[in-house]
């Protein structure tokens, strides 16, 4: 058991955490003993420095809700994936294991029978029945459900802009990709600060990965490239082999060559992404809408009396002919899984799922995501307002950890936080509206559910070919024939086998 203390980062802390955890297995017995589960054991990532107090108010409230004690192993997020591997190979496996993503290791273990297949079981639990079938299918592994996905907003894409720069230059907010290019040109050449200082339009940091909702993925999707995989005529093909991929990157390269993108886009530290925007050096950030609210907060910290006119946001942009292809997120972030080694029987599984079902009820979601009403927050309409006190701070600290064991796959029914001021409320209202509208034009990844064996083995290497080729092209280190040659190298280096395997799985899933 944990006492309230500060955890050290890294593997050493992870090892300490594991050593302090109660052993897995059922009801305190050895794994697979078949004993009744009387204490629910969970392993989850810890994103903060301090683990929740097992005797704290929040944990006691959660235990009362599910009707049994909790034994939670909190592992520092930095070492969490390694800890999952170690734990699943041990004889101390918890009843519930949080997975932070659909990793190759998770997929292989699931298909090998390491986790319960919940496909035909979850419908018996109303608070675990997915609200969004598109997200649920994408979260599956080849059409089978091996975990309860942790719901996240399916639409987060946004373009944050310097609102004062738009007003200074007499510009309207963008609606299309052409509009954004014109604004990037004006922000670069039109002296938006009014003092002759050097400025640029787009701000993009060094971006690793492909198909992870980065700025380049946004730009390509808006131009009709699709989302990782493109379905046509009943077959899947990689989105980067579509002609729209080249068209989108031609226009991005043109902006970079014209100085309308920060010159260090290939090397800029992502942790400093906000700095040029805040410091008046750049005026456009294509990312997620939470960044716009962060930026507004920076201006408020600098001048609480004059910050409301600094930031605006728009959602996904239409392509030049007016068509909207909106890039969604996968809609989830990992899973809660039930290992068969520690939960070997149907009766034990029912005990675990009944507890998880309670945690995803309205009362459960509000405990995990908001805390304890009257202690750390109050309710104003359908929003939560924080209470300021030492007691409230302790509970709120625990909420940030307990949110990691929530799923909300049945739809979020907790309270949203009330914005602090009028400017924040207005920007948040705008954000919610364009996300809701954009979701109607969302381009979900049709291959999200399927796991090619070749990709599981070589996906990281194959993805890097695309990431490197795109960046070198945008930086002028490759011409268009060179980019095309790199895409062909992807195909000949195992990519075609991935395509073949994906289509075999896709056809099986369609029948």
Note the pLDDT of residue 8. 25
Mean pLDDT of the chain: 92
For the cut 80, the answer to whether the pLDDT of residue 317 exceeds it is: yes
Note the pLDDT of residue 12. 30
User: 254: closest CA among 173, 182, 317?
Assistant: 182
Which backbone phi and psi does 442 adopt, to 5 degrees? -65, 135
CB 420 within 8 A of CB 301: no
pLDDT band at 25 (very low <50, low <70, confident <90, very high): very low
CB 331 within 8 A of CB 138: yes
Note the pLDDT of residue 104. 87
Helix, strand, coil percentages in the chain from 3-state DSSP, rounded to 5? 45, 15, 40
CB 378 within 8 A of CB 67: no
CB 51 within 8 A of CB 20: no
pLDDT band at 509 (very low <50, low <70, confident <90, very high): confident
* Average of per-residue pLDDT across 8-23: 29
CB 449 within 8 A of CB 495: no
For the cut 90, the answer to whether the pLDDT of residue 337 exceeds it is: yes
Q: Which helix (H) or strand (E) holds 253?
A: helix 243-257
Note the pLDDT of residue 26. 36
Query: Within the chain, what is the greatest distance between any pair of CA atoms?
Result: 75
For the cut 60, the answer to whether the pLDDT of residue 24 exceeds it is: no
First to last CA, the chain: 49
User: How far, in whole angstroms, is CA 116 from its chain's centroid?
Assistant: 24
Note the pLDDT of residue 3. 29
Distance in angstroms (rounded) separating the CA atoms of residues 146 and 111: 8
Helix (H, G, I), strand (E, B), or coil: what is residue 288? strand
pLDDT band at 301 (very low <50, low <70, confident <90, very high): very high
* Average of per-residue pLDDT across 420-444: 96
Note the pLDDT of residue 511. 65
List pLDDT tens digits, range 244-256. Answer: 999 999 999 999 9
pTM: 0.87
Distance in angstroms (rounded) separating the CA atoms of residues 133 and 130: 6
* Average of per-residue pLDDT across 194-222: 95
């Amino acid at each position: 058991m944990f006492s309230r203390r500060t955890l050290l980062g890294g593997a050493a802390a992870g090892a300490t955490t594991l050593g302090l955890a109660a052993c897995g297995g059922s009801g305190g017995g050895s794994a697979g003993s078949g004993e009744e589960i009387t204490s629910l054991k969970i392993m989850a990532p810890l994103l903060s420095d301090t683990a929740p107090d097992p005797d704290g108010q929040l944990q006691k409230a959660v235990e009362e809700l599910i009707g049994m004690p909790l034994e939670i192993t909190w592992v520092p997020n930095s070492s969490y994936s390694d800890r999952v591997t170690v734990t699943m190979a041990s004889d101390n496996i918890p009843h519930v294991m949080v997975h932070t993503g659909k990793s190759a290791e998770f997929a292989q273990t699931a298909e090998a029978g390491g986790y319960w297949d919940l496909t035909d079981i979850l419908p018996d639990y109303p608070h675990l029945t997915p609200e969004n079938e598109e997200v649920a299918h994408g979260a599956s592994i080849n059409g089978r459900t091996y975990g309860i996905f942790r719901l996240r907003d399916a639409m987060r894409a946004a373009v944050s802009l310097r609102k004062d720069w738009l007003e200074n230059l007499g510009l309207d907010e963008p609606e299309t990709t052409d509009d954004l290019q014109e604004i990037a040109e004006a922000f670069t050449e039109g002296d938006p600060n009014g003092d002759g200082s050097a400025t640029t339009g787009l701000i993009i940091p060094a971006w690793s990965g492909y198909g992870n909702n980065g700025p380049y993925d946004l730009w390509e999707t808006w131009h009709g490239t699709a989302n990782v995989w493109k379905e046509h005529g009943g077959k899947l093909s990689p989105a980067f082999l579509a002609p729209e991929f080249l068209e989108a990157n031609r226009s991005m390269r043109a902006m970079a060559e014209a100085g309308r993108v920060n010159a260090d886009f290939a090397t800029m530290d992502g942790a400093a992404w906000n700095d040029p925007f805040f410091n008046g050096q750049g005026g456009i950030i294509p990312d997620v809408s939470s960044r716009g609210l962060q930026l507004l907060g920076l201006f408020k910290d600098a001048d609480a009396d004059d910050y409301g006119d600094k930031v605006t946001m728009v959602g996904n942009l239409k392509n030049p002919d007016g068509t909207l292809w909106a890039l969604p997120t996968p809609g989830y972030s990992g899973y809660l899984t039930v290992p068969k080694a520690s939960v070997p029987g149907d009766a034990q599984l029912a005990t675990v799922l009944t507890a998880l079902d309670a945690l995803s009820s309205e009362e459960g979601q509000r405990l995990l995501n908001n805390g304890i009403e009257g202690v750390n927050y109050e309710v104003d309409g359908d929003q939560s307002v924080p209470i300021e006190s030492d007691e409230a701070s302790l509970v709120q600290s625990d909420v940030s950890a307990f949110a990691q064991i929530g799923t909300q796959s049945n739809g979020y029914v907790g309270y949203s936080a009330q914005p602090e001021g009028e400017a924040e409320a207005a920007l948040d209202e705008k954000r919610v509206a364009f996300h809701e509208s954009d979701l109607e034009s969302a381009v979900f990844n049709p291959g999200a559910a399927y796991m090619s064996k070749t990709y599981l083995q070589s996906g990281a290497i194959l993805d890097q070919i695309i990431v490197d080729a795109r960046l070198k092209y945008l930086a002028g280190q490759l011409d268009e024939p060179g980019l095309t040659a790199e895409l062909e190298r992807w195909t000949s280096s195992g990519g075609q086998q991935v395509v073949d395997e994906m289509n075999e799985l896709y056809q099986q899933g369609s029948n």
